[in-house]
Chains A and B, each alone.
Chain A
Amino acid sequence: MKPLKYKEIMPRVAIENLKLIEVDDLISLIGKDLESIRCALSDSPYGEYISAISQDEIDSISLEAVLLQNYAETYKKLVKFSSGSIRSLLLAVLKKFEVSNVKAMLRATKAKITVDEAMKHIVPVGTLDRNRCRAILAESKSIDDVINSLANLEYGLIMKDVLNKRERIEDLMQLEVALDKAVYREILESAEKLKGVDKKIAKDVLGIELDAINVRIILKCKALGVSQELIKDYLMPTALFGEETLEEATKATSAKAMIGCLLIVAETGNLVYKNIFTQMLKECDAPLSRLEAILDKAPLKMSLYMLKEHTRYYNIGFVLAFLNLKWMEIKNLRCIINGSERKSPPSQVRKLLTLPGEW
């Protein structure tokens, strides 16, 4: 263990962690109107971004943008105060958001919407800042143009590779899947470069996220009747559930059989895997959205489990747990804001929240 490399990042994470909104406060926002939510958020870290929006412009879209902007800024701070392999891992994870911007640019170009309209979908993070995205969108008339504009970044090369392999791109799904796969592969590689407890924690926390995504993809594809061959193309790099396990899961005739097959492997993992898949097996007859909700909680549960298992400081567990908690807070706030705007019943909003424990 090398506490030195945590010297700067840990206090920063601890400060940011204290800024997180308490779950009780978050729940108390359910059912309130947008103005009340805006007032409540004014006293939170989102306050400085919210004050920049005029009262007439307050709606779910502007508030959502504020939340994402805050997440990007917080992430930037953590990257700034990190060093070595932790910094590499954080930068690799940040690429998930960069890829999200690349996808937004591809979609906007395909739909031929105006640059200003397209820019609303961009969250400036990493190497793809606002100016660069605007320049790419302004210059690009087709998907090929976007790919060429990104040729100096790894994303451009990944997409060119897809174009070379396939004669015709029917839809953007192939490009999007290739980008997602590349990013997750890089995240796994970065986690692999860590040492000791950090490596174990990062592999478990980021691994369960990948496993959850793959299981979600299989469940969804099977519900839609997608062929086994096609499902394989959509799967992300694997973690605890290897390719063979996932292939076996795709062959399962029912959700119960599939989860049962995954549970056998999950039992070889840690307690979180076992708990999640046991719960899924119990609720296998529930709607798919319920199973997805259980899987959505997996990274957060794993992060919190790692915090209990290992010391709170001087390992990457606290950083990853904070990032997951922050992301969940943003997701929950987004859910509450949209629910408020759409006047959804509080019970429906509450059902869709991802809370750390049984709340």
Chain B
Amino acid sequence: MSAEKLEVHPTRLELLRLRRRKALAEGIADILQKDLETLIVALIEHRQRAHALRTQLYEILNTAYSLFIETEMMIGTMKVREISLSASPIEFGIEVSTTPGVLGIQFPSLQFIEEENRALKPRFNLSETPIQLEEAASKIEDALKPIVKLAELTAVIREILEMISLKRRQINRIRFQILPQLDATIRYVELILEEIERQDAIRVRVLQRKRKERAAKSG
């Protein structure tokens, strides 16, 4: 598909302006390409970190669920459910803020906040429950920090993906819309200017021929 040319006056000055604009657009496209590459590197790094964290989280949760199942096997499903009815929930908070990341982009930051001055006391009836239940609960509590960290990494990855998509759109717009448009316009202006030059040359030759004819008649 041929690009539509811009509405410009086919003058030399305009041609110079158009060439300057083309050089500038090419420069911007190069910078955006470098940004894109930086973002892709950051995306790979964050993805690797998320993968490692997810593996660590799965290990913690697997241990927790295994211990929980052991508890159910030891004291019965109904008893575990009954005990859970009165168990005090784990209190925690999440502070949401932003931190400057790659290319100065503001990345979301999630901070896990533990309950301060938490009394060290058992959460479940000591004589009724096996240690596996406390251990399972403690493992789940341990998993909260990686879960929050993983949520933060996921949000950062999403942010990076959005930025990559934006940069890619910008590069594509320059490469496949602005630059072809400028090229087409430059070609058009050049053609017009060449046409004007050719007409001028013919006009000059006609005038010279007429001048010679006039000189011959008078001579």
Contacts and interface: CB of A to CB of B under 8 A. Distances in A.
Contacts of A120: 78
A331 B72 CA distance: 11
B85 A111 contact: yes
Given A64-B78, A120-B78, A236-B127, A338 B69 contact: yes
Contact of B131 (A230, A289, A339): A289
A173 B127 CA distance: 11
A162 B31 CA distance: 74
Nearest to A340: B73
Nearest to A331: B74
A106 B128 CA distance: 15
Chain B interface size band reads 20 to 34
A-side interface mostly: helix
A145 interface: no
Contact of A288 (B70, B78, B125, B131): B131
Interface stretch (A49-57, A194-202, A239-247, A344-352): A344-352
B77 A111 contact: no
A217 B77 contact: no
Interface in B49-76: 66, 69-70, 72-76
A180 interface: yes
A110 B86 contact: yes
A110 B130 contact: no
B211 interface: no
Contacts of B135: 288-289
Nearest to B127: A213
A107 B127 contact: no
B126 A171 contact: no
Interface stretch (A87-95, A221-229, A302-310): A221-229
Nearest to B132: A289
A178 B29 CA distance: 76
A234 B127 CA distance: 9
Contacts of B134: 220, 223-224
Given A64-B76, A334-B73, A217 B126 contact: yes
Contacts of B81: 121
Contacts of B121: 173, 224, 226, 230
A309 B134 CA distance: 38
B120 A220 contact: no
Nearest to B67: A289
Contacts of A2: none
Contacts of A176: 125
Nearest to A234: B126
B72 to A, nearest CB: 5
Nearest to A335: B73
Contacts of A106: 86
Interface of B: 66, 69-70, 72-79, 81-83, 85-86, 88, 120-122, 125-128, 130-132, 134-135
Given A64-B77, A103-B125, A221-B126, 8 more contacts: A60-B76, A60-B77, A107-B85, A107-B86, A111-B85, A227-B120, A288-B135, A334-B76
